[in-house]
């Protein structure tokens, strides 16, 4: 998952991953501890964190190599791999943290949105875990967790704008609280990551010697660095409407047509670093401050789920008893959808003079 956060708050703090020594850990024992579990798609992640945001232990099993070989995520394969690895991943996170099950204050797990078969594995494991150890359970919205990750590393106060860009989602929202979001715009057809993966498959980039073991989006980003970004003029349809929605299917069709004409495509699709650079120019021009979590925490992981659990534990929101039943939700919107109102407002902004250099 690739996430950007833009905030008007100017306070910043240097990112540090803090590792506890045994003595420091003893001093932290009075702090509440949360186990976070993530299985929404193709990453099996777990992490133990204290309520200050200190990562005590984590583990992550990626299915990327398997899905690269099959040309995409097959839900039944993802489910099997989650089932085979979740026990080990959670055990590793617990052992690395030095925390016992009895010391946990709660378990936080992704229950929405995501692949149904993947969500089911994480939820079943977690419910059995909290019932066995009689711990509170905190259901987590995957997109909320991504949106709040930046608060682990920066003193960002509400409200702030959130831009999430990933393989399965694109959305712009106003974060007003840990569970209070206004959805300003979202993906109308397909997300940019999905678009890049499809283009990569069309170009058979997996056969390229530099791209055989990386995803389609990563392959395009890698090869685009040496490409000519002025060679092809691809026009996303998003500028045709005064709203905050995203559409990339039309862009993919344009690229496909160029491929069919047997032209060599390089640098036609923006890479992650290109997007980040462009956003920095926009935020600098508009007086906002761009905040991005470290790349490691932009993809799916147990740390962001544990952090979301910590935020909820602090405010006493969404904490369930281990006896309560919980269901997963493959499709779950983020916050209150006001995209129609945004479009009706037809907000026009003055043109920005953007100059992007390599």
SS3 string of 99-125? CCHHHCCEEEEEEECCCHHHHHHHHHH
Among 219, 202, 177, which Cα is nearest to 255's? Answer: 202
Is residue 274 helix, strand or coil? helix
Is 40 in the same domain as 88?
Answer: yes
341 and 182 in contact (C-beta within 8 Å)?
no
Q: Which of 6-20, 126-140, 246-260, 292-306 has the lowest mean pLDDT?
A: 6-20
Is 20 in the same domain as 149?
Answer: yes
Range of the domain at 274: 165-290+339-345
- pTM of the full predicted structure? 0.83
Predicted confidence (pLDDT) at residue 273 exceeds the cutoff of 80 = no
Place of tokens 């956060």: 5
Count of helix runs (H) and strand runs (E) in the chain = 11, 11
Is 52 in the same domain as 72?
Answer: yes
Is 258 in the same domain as 312?
Answer: no
pLDDT score at 27: 41
Report if residue 6 sits inside a domain. no
Report if residue 5 sits inside a domain. no
Is 62 in the same domain as 103?
Answer: yes
Q: Which residue has the higher pLDDT, 272 or 33?
A: 33
Is 38 in the same domain as 91?
Answer: yes
Report if residue 277 sits inside a domain. yes
Is 81 in the same domain as 32?
Answer: yes
Q: Distance between CA atoms of 56 and 134, rounded to whole angstroms? A: 22
Is 100 in the same domain as 21?
Answer: yes
Is 332 in the same domain as 277?
Answer: no
Q: Which residue has the higher pLDDT, 189 or 40?
A: 40
Report if residue 357 sits inside a domain. no
Is 318 in the same domain as 284?
Answer: no
Report if residue 351 sits inside a domain. no
Report if residue 350 sits inside a domain. no
Is 135 in the same domain as 258?
Answer: no
Is 128 in the same domain as 53?
Answer: yes
Please count the structural domains in the chain.
Answer: 2
The CATH number linked to 96 is 3.30.420.40
Report if residue 45 sits inside a domain. yes
pLDDT score at 266: 35
pLDDT score at 258: 79
């Amino acid at each position: 998952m690739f996430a950007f956060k833009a905030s008007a708050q100017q306070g910043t703090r240097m990112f540090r991953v803090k590792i506890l020594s045994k003595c420091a850990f003893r001093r932290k024992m009075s702090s509440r501890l949360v186990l976070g579990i993530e299985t929404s798609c193709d990453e099996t992640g777990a992490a133990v964190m204290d309520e200050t945001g200190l990562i005590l232990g984590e583990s992550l099993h990626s299915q990327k190599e398997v899905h690269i070989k099959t040309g995409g995520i097959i839900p039944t394969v993802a489910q099997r791999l989650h089932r085979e690895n979740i026990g080990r991943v959670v055990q590793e996170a617990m052992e690395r943290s030095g925390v016992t099950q009895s010391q946990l204050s709660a378990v936080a797990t992704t229950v929405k949105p995501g692949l149904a078969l993947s969500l089911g594995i994480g939820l079943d494991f977690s419910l059995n875990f909290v019932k066995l150890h009689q711990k509170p359970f905190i259901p987590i919205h995957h997109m909320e967790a991504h949106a709040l990750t930046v608060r682990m590393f920066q003193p960002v106060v509400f409200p702030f704008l959130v831009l999430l860009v990933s393989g399965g989602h694109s959305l712009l929202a106003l974060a007003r609280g840990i569970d209070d979001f206004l959805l300003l715009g979202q993906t109308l057809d397909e997300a940019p990551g999905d678009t890049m993966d499809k283009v990569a498959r069309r170009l058979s980039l997996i056969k390229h010697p530099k791209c055989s073991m990386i995803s389609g989006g990563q392959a395009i980003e890698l090869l685009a660095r040496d490409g000519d970004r002025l060679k092809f003029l691809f026009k996303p349809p998003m500028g045709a409407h005064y709203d905050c929605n995203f559409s990339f299917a039309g862009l993919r069709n344009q690229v496909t047509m160029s491929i069919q004409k047997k032209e060599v495509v390089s640098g036609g699709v923006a890479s992650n670093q290109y997007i980040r650079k462009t956003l920095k120019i926009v935020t600098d021009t508009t007086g906002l401050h761009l905040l991005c979590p470290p790349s490691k925490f932009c993809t799916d992981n147990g740390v962001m789920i544990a952090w979301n659990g910590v935020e909820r534990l602090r405010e006493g929101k969404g904490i369930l008893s281990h006896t309560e039943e919980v269901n997963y939700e493959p499709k779950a919107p983020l916050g209150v959808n006001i995209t129609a109102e945004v479009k009706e407002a037809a907000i026009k902004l003055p043109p920005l003079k953007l100059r992007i250099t390599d």
